[in-house]
Amino acid sequence: MIRSLQFVLILLLVSSSLIAQPPCSPTGDQTSFGTGNVWIGYAYNNLNFTSYRGFFNQGAAGNPNFDYDFGGDNGNFTGASCNVDRTTFSVRFKLRRTFTNGNYRFVVGGDDGYRFSVDGGSTWVINNWNDHGYTTSTIDLLLNGSVDLVLEYYENGGSNRVSFNMSSICSGTENTTVYGSNNIWNGYVYDGTNFDTYAGMIQNGSPANPDFDQNFGGSNVTLSTSGCGTNTETFSVRYRLRKNFLAGTYQFTVGADDGYRLSLDGGATWIINQWFAQSYASTISTPLSLNGDYDMVLEYYEQGGDNRVSFDMAVISILPIYLVDFKASVKNSQPVLNWTITTNSTPDYFEVERSYDNRSFSSIGTVEPVAGQLTTRFSYVDKTVKADRIYYRLKMVDIDRTATYSKTLTVTLNDSKQQELQVYPTIVRSNQVMVKSTENYSEAIVTITDLSGRIVMRKTMGKISANQVQAIDLNGLRSGKGVYFLRVITADGVDQTRKIILP
């Protein structure tokens, strides 16, 4: 009887185990991203993210990091809403997170395959998608704003584990494309020999001179920057300086331990290029003709051991002052000198020299450019003249103290002298106006303006010979009847204006 009861009980247990279990309905939509540093992990009962079995969470409100195993090599994982076979399964973790602008280090690990994305799974910045024991992979990324993180993992037998760790990396905040000015270089320092992770800025040079010779505190120490410190064993620096060069010839010497190179066009080409590991050495550029603004880039890297970089600029020559025009006129019975130079001239000052005999000259005044301004036009009024005929010249002194002289101008103050140049007739009924002088004049220029001041004709006469009549052809004005002003200017100081009428 007892044996019969035992047999019945065994049959009941077997029968109950054979009765089908109710189906499991996994929760979760498989697409939503976790928030608040808490990942949503969508679990699947195979290796390729099919046969969905529900979700579970990892991370915490204050920290998205986690290191998770699934409870052993065999059996079921019960963390999701439906059981998952721990032998072969996969999990897709999702987290939407807002990052403060900065550099971040991600360390992802798994046994077996894992991969990590910061664009919702479109691309993988870490991809170790194969069978292996537990390993980790690291990447540093610059992130800012809302980012869709995806971490995918699969297990193909044996131990199972997946981990995620994120940490902020100290970094500089400057715009690394900005050039230094006023002879002071902006040096952007990076951790790594190939400008890998930006740490912060240093500066070299001075307002008086862009030259510098920089060591970084020694081997295997921490270099301080505007942002973060970096180790001096393996680092790199990109120096930037926008500099205006006066027209002239220059030569550069750059040296370093280890690699160095110099560019004058923002890094597009290199006039010095010694980009390899070496003990301290220096290179001299070929002489270069420069004029204007240049975007200078000096790059340097250190591979270990001693560290040093240097820059030296030598001025071989500065182009002299180029005088475009030098004229004299008389206003209120006083000689007025006006002159113009080219924009690439580099004057330190001008001395106005005067003579009464055109042989012995003496300085009567100094004219200097306004500091910090690009000035090309200058003037001087002689208020101490004591003769009717005066001679003037300019002594032009360059910034390198080179002195050159202008041509000599003659100025006549006596009214009778001014009448030595005759212009006639006043009422022009033909096509010509006559010019006659009792003296020789050089470089004569004639301009005719209408009543509004508009120049309607300009003619270069050149030399006016004494007591010879020269005709000025007015064919271009014959159809334009009216009142005009004819002006004659010579290099000798004559400046006369006559009214003419075309009836």
Inter-CA distances, 459 with 1, 240, 444, 494, Å: 144, 51, 9, 16
Q: HEC states along 340-402?
A: EECCCCCEEEEEEEEECCCCCCEEEEEECCCCCCCCCEEEEECCCCCCCEEEEEEEEEECCCC
Q: How far apart are CA 127 and CA 137, in angstroms?
A: 9
Task: Look at strands 76-77 and 403-405 and give their pairing.
Answer: unpaired
Among all chains, which residue has been given the structure tokens 């890094």?
A: 267
Q: How far apart are CA 382 and CA 452, in angstroms?
A: 31
Q: pLDDT at position 314, please? A: 92
Per the structure block, which two tokens stand in for 27?
A: 């929760």
Where do the DSSP E strands lie in 281-320? 281-284, 288-302, 308-318
| H or E stretch at 13 | helix 2-18
Q: pLDDT at position 333, please? A: 81
Are 376 and 304 in contact by the 8 Å Cβ rule? The answer is no
CATH architecture of 39-169: Sandwich (2.60)
- The CATH classification number of 419-502 equals 2.60.40.3080
Q: pLDDT at position 22, please? A: 54
Q: How far apart are CA 337 and CA 374, in angstroms?
A: 20
Q: How far apart are CA 195 and CA 142, in angstroms?
A: 14
Residue 282 burial class via C-beta count within 10 angstroms: exposed 0-12, middle 13-18, buried 19 and up: middle
Residues contacting 199, CB < 8 A, separation 6+: 170, 171, 172, 189, 190, 191, 225, 227, 228, 229, 230, 235
Residue 188 burial class via C-beta count within 10 angstroms: exposed 0-12, middle 13-18, buried 19 and up: buried
Q: pLDDT at position 28, please? A: 95
Are 492 and 456 in contact by the 8 Å Cβ rule? The answer is no
Q: How far apart are CA 236 and CA 242, in angstroms?
A: 20
Residues pairing with 333 in the sheet: none
Taking the CA atoms of residue 304, residue 306, residue 311 and residue 316 in that order, the dihedral angle to the nearest 10 degrees is -120
Q: How far apart are CA 468 and CA 435, in angstroms?
A: 8
Are 135 and 199 in contact by the 8 Å Cβ rule? The answer is no
Reading the chain (503 residues) residue by residue, the pLDDT tens digits are 444 444 434 444 434 333 434 579 999 999 999 999 999 999 999 999 999 999 999 999 889 999 999 988 888 999 899 999 999 999 999 999 999 888 899 999 999 999 999 999 999 999 999 999 999 999 989 899 999 999 999 999 999 999 999 998 887 889 999 999 999 999 999 999 999 889 999 999 999 899 999 999 989 999 999 988 899 999 999 999 999 987 778 999 999 999 999 999 999 999 999 999 999 999 999 999 887 889 999 999 999 999 999 999 998 876 677 888 899 888 878 899 999 998 878 888 999 999 988 888 999 999 999 877 788 899 999 998 888 889 999 999 888 788 888 888 988 886 444 445 788 888 888 888 888 887 787 788 888 888 777 888 888 888 888 888 888 888 776 557 888 888 888 776 677 788 888 88
Q: How far apart are CA 139 and CA 99, in angstroms?
A: 16
Q: pLDDT at position 57, please? A: 96
Residue type, position 4, single letter: S
Taking the CA atoms of residue 461, residue 467, residue 472 and residue 478 in that order, the dihedral angle to the nearest 10 degrees is 160
DSSP conformational letter for 427: B
Residues contacting 359, CB < 8 A, separation 6+: none
Q: Which of 88, 44, 40 is nearest to 64 (CA)?
A: 40
Q: Which of 316, 309, 255, 248 is nearest to 284 (CA)?
A: 255
| H or E stretch at 37 | none
- The CATH classification number of 184-318 equals 2.60.120.1560
Distance of CA 341 to the CA centre of its chain: 31
Q: How far apart are CA 176 and CA 210, in angstroms?
A: 19
Distance of CA 484 to the CA centre of its chain: 54
Residue spans in the chain of domains classed CATH 2.60.120.1560: 39-169, 184-318
pTM of the model: 0.47
Q: How far apart are CA 241 and CA 262, in angstroms?
A: 11
Residues pairing with 206 in the sheet: 209
| H or E stretch at 6 | helix 2-18
Residue spans in the chain of domains classed CATH 2.60.40.3080: 419-502
* Top-level class of domain 323-412: mainly beta
